[in-house]
Amino acid sequence: MLRIRPTPRSARTAQSLPSVVVLMALIAVGALLAVAWLASRGESDSRAAVETTRVSRGSFVFSVTETGEVESARSVEIRCEVKARGAAGTTILEIVPEGTHVREGDFLVRLDSSSLELERNAQQIVVHSSEAAMIQARNAHDTAKIAKTEYLEGTLKQEELTIQGEIFVAQENLRRAEDYLQYSQRLAAKGYITKLQLEADRFGVDKARQELTAAESKLKVLREYTKAKMLTQLESDIQSTYAQWQAAKSNYELDVGKLRDIKEQVARCTITAPADGQVKYANRRGGRGGGEVIIEPGTPIREGQVIIELPDPAQMQVAAEIAEASTKYVRPGMPATIKIRSATGETLRGEVAKVNDYPEPGGWFSTSVKKYGTRIDILDNPGNLKPGLTAEVTIEVDSRDDVLQLPLQSVIQHGGKYYCLLKSPSGWQRREVQVGLNNNQAIEIRKGLAGGDDVVANPRRHRQLVTWPALTAPQPEQTASRDQAESPAAKSGPPRGERPSGEKAVQQRPPRRQRPQAKGKP
């Protein structure tokens, strides 16, 4: 039998070692070739990609360009007038499609009125109950007044007559008793009656006199005390029943008013157009101040919230927001050019109508640059503009003749100063320049260059061509921004703690990594 003996571990390691060494050498050579190829390519690309532009002199228009939205200068807002019955609001059941042309009185929106109708039915029962209570209280008041009249004209007089009759009887009884006593005294003097009988006749006189006194006292009590007491009680009943009647009446009026209000709320659930116009939904984008609102069936609407806008197409304007740095230039009355970003791409004349004094509230994703709301009136309205169209507004701030200028991207900022790159007989060099205004395309050169000089068109891409001064603090280099200082004094910045009025912060970008240069190359 043939037996295969395994190769020792040391022998296998010795066999694989030359292969590993060869592989590593190949990788190193490939890396060196790749680095050399990239370096040569970068050098050739940097040489071939250097484009220059010429400093020119001519008219310079300083303008501010922003994007806005077309809206109506006079718009009728359709708000929800249904009082909130809960935190969510009233739900939209039916709404006319957006863009529909409506006339005054046409249907617009129908809100959910089911809960209001149930409340109306329940309130109707409450009104009936309060009306019954009011009628009952009024009848009690009338009864109290009748009771007073009844007492004065009936009961009191009857009692007086009754007592007066008792007094008359008592007087007659007293007179008869006194006469009988006198007759008995004469008989007793002649001895016809006994002394006991005479005493009995005297007792009869005293009794009749007491009965007369009691009747007279009863009449006095009736007139002086009982009458006053009864009148006080009856007057109290009149006043208390009157108060109860007025309370029931007020309660009834409140219930009727509440029922009337509920009926009005039910009627307000159906909204009609107050004027002619084209329907535009009052949708709202989400932001820091509140959530997103999309007007459609099923959307809950709060009391006072705008549902629909009916813009006037005859008076249109553009609502734009300009940066804080531009507010020192833009003033009402300045001319503007409005370009509508639609299929027709119309360009219209405009005029700045208003610049807000305070910035617009920012959203969650807004930058630190503050924006100020600006309204631009459209002077030559073609009549076919619709709210919501995007418009590009160019406000002409200033116009000058014979201005030395360069494309905006031809100027780079480094360490708070501005430079351009020029080619000299000895190679590329940097030159410090003093800049002025810019209009997003060209920038004014006030010092450092002359007309006809050729500079690098995009110095940011070719920073490696020259040597830059060291920075005292880490400051990223960048091209000139759209709103530079107008003088060297302004470029030095305001005192610490103050912000320059109307100056916009330069966009900060980190410096690009420099490509490795071939030895001996500029």
Domain boundaries, the chain: 52-60+403-491, 78-112+269-285+292-311, 115-267
Find the mean pLDDT for residues 20-48.
Answer: 62
- What is the C-alpha separation between 110 and 268, in angstroms, rounded? 9
Topology classification of domain 52-60+403-491 = 2.40.420
Collapse the DSSP code of 252 into the 3-class scheme (helix H, G, I; strand E, B; otherwise coil) and give the result: helix
Of 64, 150, 52, which Cα lies nearest the Cα of 398? 64
364 vs 146 pLDDT, higher one = 146
Q: How many angstroms separate the Cα of 259 from the Cα of each of 130, 249, 262, 499? A: 12, 15, 5, 59
36 vs 237 pLDDT, higher one = 237
Find the mean pLDDT for residues 414-426.
Answer: 88
Q: Are 354 and 371 in contact (CB under 8 A)?
A: no
Task: Inform me whether the pLDDT recorded for 292 exceeds 90.
Answer: no
Query: Within 13 A of 296's CA, how many CA atoms are on the CB side?
Result: 4
- What is the C-alpha separation between 120 and 258, in angstroms, rounded? 9
- What is the C-alpha separation between 243 and 55, in angstroms, rounded? 96
pLDDT per position as a tens digit, 243-288: 999 999 999 999 999 999 999 999 999 999 998 888 989 887 755 5
- What is the C-alpha separation between 270 and 430, in angstroms, rounded? 73
Q: How many helices (H) and strands (E) does the chain have?
A: 6, 22
Q: Quick one: pLDDT band at residue 327, thresholds 50, 70, 90?
A: confident
80: which 2 tokens? 């929800």
pTM higher than the cut 0.75: no
Find the mean pLDDT for residues 298-306.
Answer: 90
**Beta-bridge partners for 413:** 418, 478
Residue type, 238: I
pLDDT of 290 reads: 53
Find the mean pLDDT for residues 388-400.
Answer: 86
* Range 115-267 classified under CATH 1.10.1070: no
Q: What is the mean pLDDT of the chain?
A: 80
Find the mean pLDDT for residues 126-144.
Answer: 95
pLDDT of 483 reads: 45
- What is the C-alpha separation between 103 and 278, in angstroms, rounded? 9
Of 386, 393, 382, 381, which Cα lies nearest the Cα of 355? 393
Q: Quick one: pLDDT band at residue 8, thresholds 50, 70, 90?
A: very low
Element (H, E) at 306: strand 306-311
Least confident of 3-17, 42-56, 241-255, 384-398: 3-17
**Beta-bridge partners for 77:** 309
Find the mean pLDDT for residues 168-191.
Answer: 88
Topology classification of domain 78-112+269-285+292-311 = OB fold (Dihydrolipoamide Acetyltransferase, E2P) (2.40.50)
Burial class (CB in 10 A: 0-12, 13-18, 19+), 374: buried
**Beta-bridge partners for 445:** 435
Q: Quick one: pLDDT band at residue 190, thresholds 50, 70, 90?
A: confident
263: which 2 tokens? 């009926």
Least confident of 21-25, 190-194, 271-275: 21-25
Collapse the DSSP code of 201 into the 3-class scheme (helix H, G, I; strand E, B; otherwise coil) and give the result: helix
Burial class (CB in 10 A: 0-12, 13-18, 19+), 9: exposed
Q: How many angstroms separate the Cα of 158 from the Cα of each of 45, 119, 228? A: 133, 56, 16
pLDDT of 505 reads: 34
pLDDT per position as a tens digit, 40-78: 554 444 444 688 898 998 888 888 888 898 888 888 899
- What is the C-alpha separation between 441 and 399, in angstroms, rounded? 14
